[in-house]
Amino acid sequence: MILETERLSLTPLTIEDAPLVYPFMSDPEVMAHWDRAAIEDPDEVAAAVAAQVAEMAERRALCWAIRHAKSNWFLGYCELVDLDWRHHRGELGFIIAREAWGQGYATEAAAALLAHCATSLGLKRMIARTHVGDLRAEKVLQKLGFEQEGYLKGHVDRDGERRDCRLYGLLF
């Protein structure tokens, strides 16, 4: 299935997208607020993408490549992880190439994906988690209607450092 917005085309992520994912997953600035550090090895990125595709095949996750509709520029991806079909919920994540920051692509892509979740997938609740200090992601979530629901002290171990996270929620 393809989701389209005014500027974007979202398609299911494929293993062939791994070389397009590598430039931003290897960028320390893009990965500064992720659960893992930048990945320098292209084979490790390919393995991570392959794992995402496998989770999609098992319906445990849905990952959507984000491309500019006119130029086909690969901007990043949105993901729904920890899908719980019984309780109709999941967790939203997104990553955008640094060159595309500040142009509203994350908000536009995530809004399209959330609309798809509510209308076609029957999901009723979405959570999202940010590392404390990730003001860009928090701004996107607030624009999408998410509300802060909690603060998770020491929630992530990143390179031996415990990081706090904010938990956001949205009911459809």
Contacts of 95 (CB under 8 A, 6+ apart): 24, 25, 30, 34, 76, 77
Integer-rounded Cα Rg, in Å, for the chain is: 15
Two tokens at 15? 């293993």
The pLDDT of residue 1 is 86
Q: List helix spans (H) across 1-148.
A: 18-25, 42-57, 105-116, 135-143
Distance (Å) of CA 167 to CA 20, 32, 123: 29, 18, 18
- Cα–Cα distance for residue pair 150/147, rounded to 1 Å: 9
- Cα–Cα distance for residue pair 100/172, rounded to 1 Å: 28
Beta-strand relationship, 89-96 and 125-131: parallel
- Cα–Cα distance for residue pair 130/115, rounded to 1 Å: 21
- Cα–Cα distance for residue pair 148/69, rounded to 1 Å: 32
Q: Which residues of the chain have pLDDT under 70?
A: none
Q: What is the DSSP letter of 121?
A: I
The pLDDT of residue 115 is 96
The pLDDT of residue 2 is 94
- Cα–Cα distance for residue pair 149/16, rounded to 1 Å: 37
Q: Which CATH class is domain 3-171?
A: alpha beta
Cα distance from N-terminal residue to C-terminal residue, the chain: 21
Cα torsion 20, 26, 30, 33 to 10°: value is: 120
